[in-house]
Chains A and B, each alone.
Chain A
Amino acid sequence: DAEITQSPRHKITETGRQVTLACHQTWNHNNMFWYRQDLGHGLRLIHYSYGVQDTNKGEVSDGYSVSRSNTEDLPLTLESAASSQTSVYFCASSEHRGDSGYFGPGTRLLVL
Chain B
Amino acid sequence: AQSVAQPEDQVNVAEGNPLTVKCTYSVSGNPYLFWYVQYPNRGLQFLLKYITGDNLVKGSYGFEAEFNKSQTSFHLKKPSALVSDSALYFCAVRDMSNYGQNFVFGPGTRLSVLP
Contacts and interface: CB of A to CB of B under 8 A. Distances in A.
Contacts of A75: none
Interface of A: 31, 33, 35, 40-45, 48, 50, 56, 58-59, 90, 92, 94, 96-98, 100-101, 103-106
A43 B103 contact: yes
A112 B41 CA distance: 21
B70 interface: no
B101 A45 contact: no
Contacts of A103: 36, 43-45
B46 to A, nearest CB: 4
Given A59-B99, A100-B46, A40 B107 contact: yes
Nearest to B103: A101
A9 B25 CA distance: 32
A100 B101 contact: no
Contacts of B4: 42
Interface in B34-88: 34, 36, 41-46, 49, 51
B100 interface: yes
A48 B43 contact: no
A103 to B, nearest CB: 4
Contacts of A92: 103
Interface residues of B, number: 25
Interface in B83-115: 90, 94, 96, 99-108
Nearest to A48: B102
Given A40-B107, A42-B108, A96-B101, 15 more contacts: A42-B105, A42-B106, A44-B105, A50-B100, A56-B99, A56-B100, A97-B96, A97-B101, A98-B51, A98-B94, A100-B46, A104-B43, A105-B43, A106-B41, A106-B43
Contacts of B108: 42
9 contacts: A31-B100, A42-B90, A50-B100, A90-B43, A90-B44, A94-B101, A101-B46, A105-B42, A106-B41
B99 A100 contact: no
A104 B45 CA distance: 10
